[in-house]
Amino acid sequence: MRYYIWTIGCQMNVADSHRVASALERLGYTEAARPEEADVVVLNTCAVRQSAEDKAYGRLMSLKPLKQKRPQMVINMMGCVVGLKGHDRLKQRFPFVDVFSPPSDPGPLLSYLAQHEHKAFEEAETARRFALQDGDLVLPRALRGKLVSEHVPVVLGCSHACTYCVIPYRRGVERSRPPEIILAEVRSLAAQGVKEITLLGQIVDRYGKDLEGVNLAWLLRRVHEIEDIERIRFLTSHPLWMTDELLETVAALPKVMPHIEVPVQAGDDEVLAAMRRGYTAEDYRRLVAKIRKIIPDVAIATDVIVGFPGESEAQFQRTYDLLAELRLDVVHLARYSERPGTLAARKLPDDVPEEEKMRRFRLIEALQERISAEINSRYLGEKVPVLFEEKAKGRWRGRTPTNKLVFVESERDLRGKIEEVLITWAGPWSLLGRLAAEVARPDPQAVLP
């Protein structure tokens, strides 16, 4: 029996897919290279933007002919397109789908397989607990010994409810995973060769708000103690919940990387209020200044939405000017996409034309390309520690502590190793370099005087 998983969307979805694969392999399935070869096909979907949802539906419809040829093939749709309450609606629309699963929950699929593949319910329940709760996470076979960096969900769902965001409706209210489960999972991953852990949450800074005596700073200190984990990151933060304690913890712990992702979304106070973000542009300025003061040489990434309902040219210009002033390392850009059920979709007309959204998108894209190129040019001639993840197209790929992508040519096996790299070229999106040890190595062909 074989399975195939298709994943689109955020890092949380990638982590969820790894856990589904792990649970299926615990039931005796092996991975297939293509859906045509699989007995179970899982589509792990995203609904943050309409384009992602459309891709999921397109991928699903491509499976319909396969299902008609092979009725015994099991199709499972999971993730944010399904959400917590979308099963009945989607079943009417896509009757050829066998099972629908909420985000982060392989339970419905495993129970279905127990019923229809004649597997014991106890076996399926064990696999479900294994995937969600036990913490003893065994990576899928294809990733064992190869995965250097892995994402570990620590907060599921979200209770903030920005007016444009569908996540609270699809992933449910915020729930912190028990710390003992998270730490057991990290230990298990470390034992399998994972060197870098990224703690995930829609608002990761709120970890522990529903638990007693723990918060994200506490969790970072505990993960920091785990042997063989060499780097720790976390995302995504929120300006309202990033505390001095958290920033000071990042600065104090050598394994926690100086890399902060904290979305601003807009630089105009009226737009921020309409989004219900809970802060002003000046608040965000002060936060960036504080981050830079507490964490020297920090890299800061942000998210920005252009074309929010009612956004005027002057309001957009304030966003542009804020980004030009703050000069952040990375800006993740999105054009506003109306999401059914959100407050913005119910109350605010999507009145910025698509061509205008794209114009604004391109303006900030060009601005950020210049800023990123200038920031990255500072690395030229410098030696930086790079954790290497994989080799592709003849080059090893890795990241600096500040999350800069670095490519190096080497015949050595660099997977999972941290090596000093001399940066020889810098662009806006990546860096090129040479291993410092090889640069310093004398040429054996050189003629001695």
Task: Give tens-digit pLDDT for 264-318.
Answer: 999 999 999 999 999 999 999 999 999 999 999 999 999 999 999 999 999 999 9
Please, which residues have CB within 8 angstroms of residue 240's CB and are 6 or more apart in sequence? 277, 278, 279
Q: Of 375, 395, 428, which residue sits at a domain end?
A: 375
- Cβ distance 145 to 33 under 8 Å? no
| pLDDT per residue as tens digits for the range 14-50 | 999 999 999 999 888 999 999 999 999 999 999 988 8
The answer on 45 and 120 residing in a single domain is yes
419 φ, ψ (degrees, to nearest 5) = -130, 145
Return the pLDDT at 129.
53
Q: Which structural domain, as residue segments, surrounds residue 406?
A: 383-440
The answer on 387 and 370 residing in a single domain is no
Is residue 448 classed exposed, middle or buried when 0-12, 13-18 and 19+ CB atoms within 10 A define those classes? Answer: exposed
DSSP code of residue 256:
B
The answer on 394 and 358 residing in a single domain is no
> Any bridge partners for residue 399, and if so which?
387, 405
How far apart are the C-alpha atoms of 134 and 193, rounded to whole Å? 19
Q: Is residue 282 part of a domain?
A: no
3-class secondary structure, 151: strand
pLDDT class of 127 with cuts at 50, 70, 90:
low
Q: Of 242, 257, 272, which residue sits at a domain end?
A: 257
Q: Does residue 444 register a pLDDT over 90?
A: no
How far apart are the C-alpha atoms of 233 and 220, rounded to whole Å? 9
pLDDT class of 369 with cuts at 50, 70, 90:
very high
The answer on 388 and 358 residing in a single domain is no
- Cβ distance 264 to 282 under 8 Å? no
Q: How many CA atoms lie within 13 A of 32 on its CB side?
A: 17
pLDDT class of 440 with cuts at 50, 70, 90:
low
- Cβ distance 258 to 299 under 8 Å? yes
Q: Does residue 132 register a pLDDT over 60?
A: no
pLDDT class of 137 with cuts at 50, 70, 90:
confident
| pLDDT per residue as tens digits for the range 328-346 | 999 999 999 999 889 999 9
- How many Cβ atoms are within 10 Å of 278's Cβ, its own excluded? 14
> Any bridge partners for residue 382, and if so which?
none
| pLDDT per residue as tens digits for the range 143-190 | 988 999 999 999 999 998 899 999 998 999 999 999 999 999 999 999
CATH code for the domain of 69: 3.40.50.12160
Q: Of 238, 257, 276, which residue sits at a domain end?
A: 257
Q: How many CA atoms lie within 13 A of 431 on its CB side?
A: 29
Q: Is residue 270 part of a domain?
A: no
**Cis-peptide, bond into residue 198, ω within 30° of zero:** no
CATH code for the domain of 316: 3.30.750.200
| pLDDT per residue as tens digits for the range 46-98 | 998 889 999 999 999 999 999 999 999 999 999 999 987 767 789 989 999 99
Residue 101, both tokens? 């699963």
The residue ranges of DSSP E strands in 221-270, in sequence order, are 231-235, 259-261
